A = this chain, B = another copy of it.
Amino acid sequence: MLDTKPKKGWKFRVHEIIYEADTPLGKWFDILLFILIIISVLLVMFESVKWIDATYHRTLLVLEWIVTILFTIEYIARIITIKKPWKYIFSFYGIIDFLSTIPLYLSYIFAGSQALLAIRAFRLIRVFRILKLVQFLGEASQLKKALKASRAKITVFLFAVLIVAVILGTVMYLIEGEEAGFTSIPTSIYWTIVTLTTVGYGDIAPITAQGQLIATIIMLLGYGIIAVPTGIVTAEMGKSGDGTKKPAEEPYVHVNTQACTTCAREGHRDGAKYCFNCGSEL
């Protein structure tokens, strides 16, 4: 932020508000955006409930238009104030933003495209960007670290679970007939995972004695192996917990919420003068 004059144009100030959360205005913008996203998601939900849609159709449509226009303004502002617009447009958030703005316009061209409004739910992921502001950052990063460290173990585990599900699902298909709902091997595998994870819908359930015996074995297996991912994450979390006690050993710098004005990349270290990604001045 120790920059020179020319940058201090209105574009730069808008960029600072939209993309960053260091200034009071930037914080307010993020909070307002968060509320707007929640409202837009609630609107989509309400429209899907028949009696609400029947009673308040007009109100919902008006609110939908207000949200869409605000989203459109935000989307255009994001494109204008960034130096390399294409980088934003084809970034993950850029695509989500576009897809959550367009459906209402499309619904006047193509019928049924209103269903795309549901994509707005994905904008909720932005909440994590806003959460960065508060104390939760440290917690989330610790969680993420523990999950990342145990990624390989969890992959092996899920692989083993899937193979067990395929084998036992096939066995159940051979034992139980059509009447019990085991109509095909994929359905049987679906049932095996429903049982192994202890979800147990009950839409499909074994009725023969042999089927119930194998179901019992699957349940005990599921009950026993639920311990494995728990053990993995717990052990990892214990380690990462120890790690935080001696931060001096692992080089660690504080990262702020500033975003590059050129490529919109975040996660620059405090006091950084150049974007670590594209090299342009911050």
Residues of A at the B interface (CB closer than 8 Å) are: 41, 44-45, 48-50, 115, 118, 121-122, 124-125, 127, 131, 135-136, 139-140, 142-143, 146-147, 152-159, 161, 163, 166-167, 170-171, 173-174, 183-187, 189-190, 193-203, 205, 209, 212-213, 215-216, 219-220, 222-224, 226-239, 241
Q: Can you offer 18 A-B residue contacts whose CB atoms are under 8 A?
A: A115-B174, A131-B156, A131-B159, A135-B152, A136-B155, A136-B156, A190-B213, A190-B216, A196-B223, A197-B198, A197-B219, A197-B222, A201-B205, A223-B226, A230-B230, A230-B234, A234-B238, A238-B238
Contact A125 B163 (CB under 8 A): yes
Of B195, B196, B237, which contacts A231 at CB under 8 A? B237
Of B49, B142, B154, which contacts A224 at CB under 8 A? B154
Closest chain-B Cβ to A244's Cβ sits at a distance in Å of: 11
Besides A194-B215, A199-B200, A232-B237, 12 new A-B residue pairs in contact (Cβ under 8 A), listed by A number: A45-B185, A118-B173, A139-B152, A139-B153, A139-B155, A140-B156, A143-B228, A190-B216, A199-B199, A199-B222, A227-B230, A227-B234
